[in-house]
Amino acid sequence: MEHLIRVSDEVQAALLEARAVVALETTLVAHGFPAPAGVEVGLASEAAVRAADAVPATIGILDGKIVVGLTGAELDRYTPDARKLGPRDLAVCAVQGAIGATTVGGTLAAAQAVGIRFMGTGGLGGVHRGFPTPPDVSADLGACARIPALIVSSGVKSLLDVGSTIELLETLGVPVLGYGVDTLPLFYAAEGGPPVSARVEDATEAARVADAHWRLGGNAILVGRPPDESLDVTDLIEEIVGESHERGIVGQAVTPYVLAALHERSDGETRRVNRDLIVANAGLAAEIAVAYAGL
Ligand code: PSU
Ligand code: MN
């Protein structure tokens, strides 16, 4: 696989010694924040993983290879012209030698290829509002159905149809765990989400559940961590999602469009909360990965 995947020395060593490794995505770096803010979020997430004694593995495609463990200089190349890569897009991007930023689903596909089982992100993708017109369901969910991994996020992105997404996660066999909470966080907002399938109190309990779930042949597990600072932007989301429909924005462009408009119209408030929750989720993913390595 060496012609296709390049694993950094640090990540390689950690994997060989069965130490804790946390995968981080590049779509939020390239498309989730206005440049260069995304790079800062990526680097701060790596620092949070290290602070919890785990090794960060930021993943993306560069120069014809899937890179697991991007350097800071490489991360600087993740600007908005990077392709957004779901699981189906990795092979094409590598063969065509383009720069590719992996989504949650794309990151999980690469992580699985090298044996990483933990990742942190902001919000999982899911069923878009208005389904079935258009019938847009994030490929993150397909990846969750197939790949054994634990993902820490602040729930699913609240620009989605959260209720339908939760139902689909149940159908796909994905446990939705609340981290010290009974309801799923709504991305920017800590409260008001649907009930989780179970609550866990600490990193060790989450790690033990993951271990048991995987031994039973289960695949992804979602751990919802509420944002420390909660923001109610329900009306703004409604307005912007409506606008995206009117403007005919579809497919992969929807999420970046809505996030960018929110960041702009909330005077940067969503951007700040989004940044902080991503970093905190990376840290928690690391704590759980460390607990798992110690089971
Ligand atoms: N979390 C964030 N910001 C983001 C994302 C997650 O805080 O931009 C990205 C992730 O890469 C996720 C993607 O996989 O949004 C979902 O995109 P889509 O709905 O097109 O599948
Ligand atoms: Mn989509």
221 and 119 Cβ atoms separated by less than 8 Å: no
Tell me how crowded residue 115 is: count the other CB atoms within 10 A of its CB: 12
In the block, residue with structure tokens 């909470």: 181
Residue 1 clears pLDDT 90, i.e. is over it: no
34 and 263 Cβ atoms separated by less than 8 Å: yes
Kindly name the residue from 46, 84, 157, 287 that is annotated as catalytic. 157
Q: What token pair was written down for 132? A: 């079935």
The rounded distance, in Å, linking the Cα atoms of 136 and 129 is: 8
Residue 2 clears pLDDT 90, i.e. is over it: no
The helix/strand/coil state of 60 is strand
Closest approach atom of ligand 1 to CA 251: 20
Q: Which ligand is nearest to the CA of 137?
A: 2
The helix/strand/coil state of 55 is strand
> What pLDDT is recorded for position 157?
92
> What pLDDT is recorded for position 251?
93
Q: What are the tens digits of pLDDT across the range 225-263?
A: 999 999 999 999 999 999 999 999 999 999 999 999 999
Q: Is 125 in the pocket of ligand 1 (CB under 6 A)?
A: yes
Which stretches of 92-166 are assigned E, i.e. beta strand? 100-102, 118-120, 150-153
Q: What are the tens digits of pLDDT across the range 259-276?
A: 999 999 999 999 999 999
Q: What's the whole-number average pLDDT of the chain?
A: 97
